[in-house]
């Protein structure tokens, strides 16, 4: 099944793979209310920018359906949509997905759902296009050889509607026989790299090793990496790209080592209303994600944290941004 989908039987519900339990348990969560969806988004049961875009659109379809079934007032519908839109601030895709389908509300829930499912379909097609474009670009840049690729966070099928963004490029390269190994940053503190990316790579039969985030610069300086591929949550007009915390450090190290650093994301992740990354709102998360590990305290009682979920990689560290439409060669001064 897709990471997130809509069950039309009965009262209607959103179904999604609960990413909090992976890799050890694959459980499907049935979401019946928009409050449940907001909780699933905030606790990262569903996560990754493009998947959040689909969650936003399907969420509006669910709200539309419930409002018809329970005769909600316009005010109540508006509040539910606003709460969903604001569930996580950094990935522009969530608000984008909500905004794409909200104008269809007067046409009824069936029209909203149809449009939301089309967004999911289009995201899948975009994944494949990015995969092909990114793979072709990288092979030209690095030469037609088996590549050693470092990646950060999870940008695969769990974060999207099909193959993934950065991981989609890796899958495409893998299919063509051009992957020697993937170095997957574990991605502290919620371990999207070791729990999710490693799981997707092992299912795809692609060679990988997991490294602590702190080892990424060392791997680059030791000559173990031919290219870095990451995704994005929001890209400003000048190319500054917000992605999972830790991406910035990897980009700086890659630039120092002369290793290409590619951001792979759908056009819907580009927020042209923002001039630069300074304007991107960064989500801060709970102390307990840092002071506890697997539910156990690993810090002195009462310790506080600095826990931004994302950082902004400045455009000057980015070689190129790959979308379904084209490759923007940022390092050659190309504009978005
Ligand atoms: O906090 P998360 O897990 O939602 O963060 C996800 C990321 O930072 C991904 O790299 C990004 O959304 C791109 S997913 C194709």
- 220: domain CATH number is 3.40.50.10470
179 and 294 belong to one structural domain: yes
152-172 burial by CB neighbour count: b if 16+ within 10 A, else e? bbbbbbbbbbbbbbbbbbbbb
Cis peptide before 224 (omega within 30 of 0): no
Q: Is 247 in the pocket of ligand 1 (CB under 6 A)?
A: no
170 and 187 belong to one structural domain: yes
DSSP 3-17: SEEEE-STT-EEEEE
* Residue appearing with tokens 């969420």: 59
96 and 192 belong to one structural domain: no
| Catalytic residue status for 185 | no
Q: Is 88 in the pocket of ligand 1 (CB under 6 A)?
A: no
Does the pLDDT at position 8 exceed 90? yes
164 and 104 belong to one structural domain: no
Are the CB atoms for 234 and 90 separated by under 8 Å? Answer: yes
Instruction: Please count the CA atoms within 13 angstroms of the CA of 336 that sit on its side-chain side.
Output: 27
Residue 73 has which token pair? Answer: 């007032």
Counting from 1 in the atom list of ligand 1, the atom nearest the Cα of 231 is: 13
Q: What is the pLDDT of residues 194-249, one digit of tens each?
A: 999 999 999 999 999 999 999 999 999 999 999 999 999 999 999 999 999 999 99
48 and 152 belong to one structural domain: no
27 and 174 belong to one structural domain: no
Does the pLDDT at position 327 exceed 90? yes
Average pLDDT along the chain: 98
150 and 56 belong to one structural domain: no
74 and 186 belong to one structural domain: no
- What's the domain range around 15? 4-122
> Which residue in 5, 233, 240, 311 is the catalytic one?
233
> According to the model, what pLDDT value does residue 1 have?
84
- d(CA 180, CA 297) in angstroms, rounded, equals 38
Using the 3D structure, point to which of 122, 155, 177 is the last residue of a domain.
122
Using the 3D structure, point to which of 103, 122, 141 is the last residue of a domain.
122
Using the 3D structure, point to which of 122, 146, 177 is the last residue of a domain.
122
163 and 86 belong to one structural domain: no
Q: What is the pLDDT of residues 122-165, one digit of tens each?
A: 999 999 999 999 999 999 999 999 999 999 999 999 999 999 99
DSSP 84-136: HHTSSSS-HHHHHHHHHHGGGGGG-HHHHHHHHHHHHHHHHHHHHHHHHHHHH
92 and 197 belong to one structural domain: no
If one counts the domains in the chain, the total is 2
210 and 269 belong to one structural domain: yes
Region 104-110 average pLDDT = 98
Q: Is 323 in the pocket of ligand 1 (CB under 6 A)?
A: no
Q: What is the pLDDT of residues 37-82, one digit of tens each?
A: 999 999 999 999 999 999 999 999 999 999 999 999 999 999 999 9
**Separation of CA 75 and ligand 1 centre (Å):** 32
- 28: domain CATH number is 1.20.120.420
- d(CA 16, CA 33) in angstroms, rounded, equals 13
Residue 273 has which token pair? Answer: 């209303």
67 and 157 belong to one structural domain: no
């Amino acid at each position: 099944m897709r990471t997130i989908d809509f069950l039309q039987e009965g009262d209607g519900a959103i179904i999604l793979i609960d990413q909090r339990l992976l890799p050890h348990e694959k459980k499907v969560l049935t979401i019946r209310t928009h409050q449940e969806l907001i909780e699933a988004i905030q606790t990262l049961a569903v996560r990754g920018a493009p998947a959040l875009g689909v969650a936003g659109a399907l969420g509006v379809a669910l709200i539309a359906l419930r409002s018809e079934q329970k005769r909600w007032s316009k005010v109540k519908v508006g509040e539910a949509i606003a709460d969903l839109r604001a569930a996580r601030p950094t990935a522009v895709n969530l608000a984008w997905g909500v905004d794409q389908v909200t104008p269809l509300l007067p046409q009824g829930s069936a029209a909203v759902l149809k449009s939301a499912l089309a967004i999911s379909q289009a995201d899948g097609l975009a994944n494949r296009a990015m995969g092909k474009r990114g793979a072709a670009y990288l092979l030209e840049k690095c030469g037609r050889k088996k590549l050693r690729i470092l990646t950060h966070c999870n940008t695969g099928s769990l974060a999207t509607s099909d193959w993934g963004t950065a991981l989609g490029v890796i899958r495409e390269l893998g299919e063509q026989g051009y992957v020697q190994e993937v170095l997957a940053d574990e991605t502290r503190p919620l371990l999207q790299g070791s729990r999710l990316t490693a799981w997707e790579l092992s299912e795809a039969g692609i060679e990988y090793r997991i490294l602590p985030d702190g080892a990424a610069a060392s791997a680059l300086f030791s000559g173990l990496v031919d290219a870095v591929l990451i995704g994005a949550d929001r890209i400003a007009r000048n190319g500054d790209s917000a992605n999972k915390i830790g991406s910035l450090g990897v980009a700086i190290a890659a630039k120092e080592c002369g290793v290409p650093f590619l951001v792979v994301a759908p056009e819907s992740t580009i927020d042209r209303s923002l001039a630069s990354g300074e304007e991107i709102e960064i989500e801060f998360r709970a102390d307990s994600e840092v002071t506890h590990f697997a539910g156990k305290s690993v810090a002195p009682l009462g310790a506080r944290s600095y826990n931004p979920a994302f950082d902004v990689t400045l455009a000057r560290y980015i070689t190129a941004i790959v979308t379904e439409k084209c490759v923007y060669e940022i390092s050659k001064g190309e504009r978005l």
